[in-house]
Chain A
């Protein structure tokens, strides 16, 4: 890309912290609860009280392994826990239990579509660690500490510097968020801070026939896609301009940390520590190393669901869904599963997809639900789609049947009549009886002489007039006439009238 008249190549790696959706914390039985009264979800273990000891939450390991296999990582057979030491009030033990030299997973690759190609990002590692609490600066003259979040399980994922633009970073983040949500390993709620990003950014500048690398900047603690995109875009420009002004490169300058000012939309330098941080990692003697059974990993891999990116591609090709609409079908895993089940039950795929995107989506929205949450069985969804696809009912009638289905269910509980029965009850079944339709057509043609004349004699008005006549027949039939047959019969009769003259 070009920045300030220079050919530049941004080089970006991401550290991502994903909060895992366990019921309890990583080392104790305290519930994970957002927004609870400060310091109400704590115990001696997560408070780091004298004598307390951590005990591993196995569910966190399972979530981590599920994520690792979905990201094509190697899951370690033997992994251990290390203490990372630093003093901060929100860290009650003044060390964080993390993983240092033997992470739970390493390697791996994540591919995602962008600009009609697949971007490929290699992963360095993924490891489990505990979150810290929060310093609360709401008090005059002092700082409070809320330790409810302390000990929350996090999966830290570190990528190679394989990203090359702010857009790529954002798309990576969006797709990763979708992935962990899909796997059910994280609630992945951005507003609640379930996923946080720390990009490492520098730029290779091509000038004077040489490559100049700007010093690496790590932007800390970004918790929205927007701020990630903004920070990376801002940094690329800032680093190029800085190099133009002072010529400092990675060779002569140090890596530094910056923060993102969300209001001014700029990155700002963070105070550098006087000396290099020495975390004094060492194995946590309170925890035993973890041996991970390869057969268990294989089993989890086996049960990895179809991932959202693959499913999106498949829905576009199999269900003939427009690319822009596919995420609406894929994003909620239960809804996407339901769509597949309905197709397996024999429903016409394209019609099913249209129903999911139109009236089912509308009704779900009205109820603050997902389509799956509406609770309509796959068999009924399939039957309704088939009724329309085989032209037994039209699209409008399908929506009416759907509403009737939901209405009956609300009134009578789980058991409802099948869509075919409902369509019949409501008189929505289309007539394919040509004699009956011919009767409606003749009646309409007789009543609308002007339109007939226009259709026959004025080629400019043919289309509009025919459309009008079809509409009149449909209206007369109460929507029951098969529009395709109506169209055919009107064409035939108009020809006869014109020729009969």
Chain B
């Protein structure tokens, strides 16, 4: 199969009249139809809505109307982001059949930029998980190896891009849910600064940690989509009015040349300790060598509170989740138990039937952490440690421009391998969680393959609103390598 063209290229061709949006859209739908039976990245495709939108775009172009930077680009949306087209279920039984009456701000912005939403992707239920195995619907497979997980929770979006089904997808990242699946699937994934992208219409999991971000086959496409969705939204009080740079323009060659020689890369020793897979270590160290060859300086740094990040995360995120998920009660919308005998039973049975095991586990953890008598020992303590973790980054980011390390401790693990042991599963996010706690931006780019042919991801973290810098650093490396051009066999049949 031919190389999947970049999103930027597709948009340029459509805007230039060389291709029809309808043909591009139909092509994406055909690829999904042909290959997604194996990958199972999509919960739902939206052929009618997508083709209709593409046709209208073609009509606009024919009429000489201006089109946006995503003109005609097929895009997949993680199913915890509200769309009026199709359903928004968070891969949960409790929201089975739920149709959102409004589009998330990120969706509005994508549509306004000419993007064509072709489907909703699978995830761990309510974004709680690291393998997409916690989906209430079905398991998504890693396009590189059918017996491996795609990572999670944005596993469907990462797999859809990796398999070449769509050039761009949206994910959400609360503790690594964009970066870890990007790493496992060999694509680029960006978690923006907290407040960079509107959360309005992102179904809340851990509200103080959640961010929407792009998954793409290369850095430039990730920059393109980030530029469309970023910026202050009056409907999200936590979004920030920081100006949005032209992220694509920031990747121009002359900008990169100017960056390369003065880039200081911090290497946190805590990210290279026990538990790090040797092949992953070797790939990340080789990537750092590439940076040095380009003239960047690497400095060893320390983020001493790293060991507390997972414990802190599982208190903060679950506390918020226990409150955020209280609304799914069988009263107003979503799943309701068939024959409740009183109000308490309506709540209890609807929730018991609707939520999966991991969601229940996290609701119970969070409820406990917020309970009278335990609040100070758990939630409040976690907030204080969160502050220390943030302080670590503030200090280290005075010694370097970006921080580099592995995105995940191992390449993609086997389906079922960690299902029985939640703690092992939680460790899959050990390197990604801290950026969410600190609110800083971070991304993952492909930096090699294991002997078994599984992708390995390099994580870059940067200062608040330093997305342009991170993308430049990522692109500098990407220019020197061809990892991002490799494609898995799965999906190729189309």
A residues near B (Cβ < 8 Å) are: 44, 47-56, 83, 85, 87, 89, 92-95, 145, 278, 280-282, 285-288
Contacts and interface: CB of A to CB of B under 8 A. Distances in A.
A292 to B, nearest CB: 16
A52 B235 CA distance: 9
Given A44-B101, A48-B332, A53 B327 contact: no
Contact of A49 (B206, B333, B347, B372): B333
Contacts of A89: 331, 343
A92 B333 CA distance: 10
B354 to A, nearest CB: 13
Contacts of B326: 85, 87, 93-95
Given A87-B326, A282-B323, A51 B200 contact: yes
B147 to A, nearest CB: 33
A51 B319 CA distance: 17
13 contacts: A44-B101, A54-B237, A55-B234, A55-B236, A87-B347, A89-B331, A94-B327, A94-B329, A280-B323, A280-B370, A285-B206, A285-B238, A285-B320
Given A48-B327, A145-B331, A280-B370, A286 B202 contact: no
Given A87-B329, A93-B327, A50 B237 contact: no
Contacts of B323: 83, 85, 95, 280, 282
Interface residues of B, number: 42
A280 B81 CA distance: 27
A53 B347 contact: no
* Chain B contact surface mostly: loop
Given A87-B329, A285-B320, A53 B199 contact: yes
Contacts of A54: 237
Given A55-B237, A280-B323, A280-B367, 14 more contacts: A44-B101, A47-B332, A48-B332, A51-B100, A51-B199, A52-B201, A53-B199, A55-B236, A89-B331, A95-B326, A280-B371, A286-B204, A287-B238, A288-B237
B342 to A, nearest CB: 11
Interface in B73-113: 81-82, 88, 90, 95, 98, 100-102, 104
Contacts of A50: 82, 88, 90, 95, 98, 100, 203-204, 327
A281 B372 CA distance: 9
A85 B325 CA distance: 11
Contacts of A281: 370
Given A50-B90, A50-B100, A282 B371 contact: no
B208 interface: yes
B399 interface: no
Contacts of B375: 280, 282
B207 interface: yes
A424 to B, nearest CB: 62
B237 A52 contact: no
A53 B332 contact: no
Nearest to B101: A44
A51 B320 CA distance: 14
A89 B342 CA distance: 12
A418 to B, nearest CB: 53
A278 B90 CA distance: 29
A53 B236 contact: yes
B202 A51 contact: yes
Interface of B: 81-82, 88, 90, 95, 98, 100-102, 104, 199-204, 206-208, 234-238, 319-320, 322-323, 326-327, 329, 331-333, 343, 347, 367, 370-372, 375, 379
Contacts of B208: 285
Nearest to A286: B207
A405 B488 CA distance: 92
A51 B332 CA distance: 15
B327 A286 contact: no
A53 B324 CA distance: 11
A53 B81 CA distance: 13
B338 to A, nearest CB: 15
Contacts of B343: 89
Contact of B237 (A51, A56, A145): A56
A51 B370 contact: no
A278 B371 contact: yes
Contact of A285 (B102, B207, B370, B371): B207
Nearest to B207: A285
A287 B371 CA distance: 21
Nearest to A84: B323
A44 B333 CA distance: 12
Contacts of A48: 327, 332
- Top-3 shortest CB links A-B: A94-B326, A285-B207, A285-B208
Nearest to A94: B326
Contacts of A94: 326-327, 329
A93 B236 CA distance: 17
A286 B235 CA distance: 11
A287 B237 CA distance: 6
Contacts of A288: 237-238
A282 B347 contact: no
Contacts of A51: 81-82, 88, 100, 104, 199-204
A487 to B, nearest CB: 75
Nearest to A280: B370
Contacts of B95: 50
Nearest to B373: A278
A347 to B, nearest CB: 50
Contacts of B327: 48, 50, 92-94
Contacts of A47: 332
A97 to B, nearest CB: 11
A304 to B, nearest CB: 29
Nearest to A87: B347
A380 to B, nearest CB: 48
A97 B108 CA distance: 27
Most A CB contacts (10 A, CB to CB) among B104, B238, B326, B370 go to: B326
A295 B237 CA distance: 24
A272 B472 CA distance: 62
A282 B207 CA distance: 13
Contacts of A56: 237
B378 to A, nearest CB: 11
Contacts of B200: 51-53
A49 B203 CA distance: 9
A47 B102 CA distance: 13
A50 B103 CA distance: 11
Contacts of B237: 53-56, 286-288
B379 A282 contact: yes
B235 A49 contact: no
B218 to A, nearest CB: 29
A93 B327 CA distance: 4
Contacts of B104: 51
B77 to A, nearest CB: 12
Contacts of A87: 326, 329, 347
Given A47-B332, A145-B331, A278 B372 contact: yes
